[in-house]
Amino acid sequence: MDCVFCKIVNNQISAKKVYEDEKVLAFYDLEPAAPEHILIIPKEHISSANQLTKENCNLVGHIFFVASKLASELGIDDGYRIVNNCGEDAGQSVKHLHFHLLGGRKFTWPPG
Ligand code: AMP
């Protein structure tokens, strides 16, 4: 499958990995939008949040747990944002479910 994040999971493309277990992988975003910008993905290919099912949705809770632990390790747990862009209108550019963990600066609300 021609999926850039699957290639990172399979070590066909390099990435600066920060966390890995049997279910998920976390690595630094190539184009950071904050001083700390990490992507957390399921190793299994799921195209977007629209493809979540009763069977695979527990991955999302695990990803949020990993995000909170990484935020603490990175020292950004005073304030961080977890973002999932789902679909074209939200600007999803990589069709493999991923959550952005952003921190190290102030964020505004609502987002643009
Ligand atoms: P999204 O727009 O929500 O689909 O986010 C995709 C993100 O993946 C963007 O922030 C890109 O900078 C990032 N990205 C794309 N390719 C890579 C890569 N090979 N390594 C790290 N980050 C990447």
Residue 110 lies in a domain: no
Residue with tokens 């629209």: 50
What is the CATH number for 66? 3.30.428.10
Strand order in the sheet with 17-20: 17-20, 24-28, 36-42, 99-103, 80-83
What confidence score (pLDDT) does residue 55 get?
97
Angle (nearest 5°) at CA 99 between 96 and 100: 120
What confidence score (pLDDT) does residue 112 get?
74
Residue 49 lies in a domain: yes
Domain total in the chain: 1
What confidence score (pLDDT) does residue 62 get?
98
Q: Is the pTM of this model over 0.75?
A: yes
Ligand 1 contact via 93 beta carbon (within 6 Å): yes
Can you give the residue range of the structural domain that contains 37? 4-103
CA of 53 to the centre of ligand 1 (A): 24
Residue 16 lies in a domain: yes
**Any catalytic annotation for residue 62?**
no
Residue 29 lies in a domain: yes
What confidence score (pLDDT) does residue 6 get?
98
pLDDT per residue as tens, the chain (112 positions) = 799 999 999 999 999 999 999 999 999 999 999 999 999 999 999 999 999 999 999 999 999 999 999 999 999 999 999 999 999 999 999 999 999 999 999 999 998 7
Rounded Cα–Cα distance for residues 112 and 108 (Å): 9
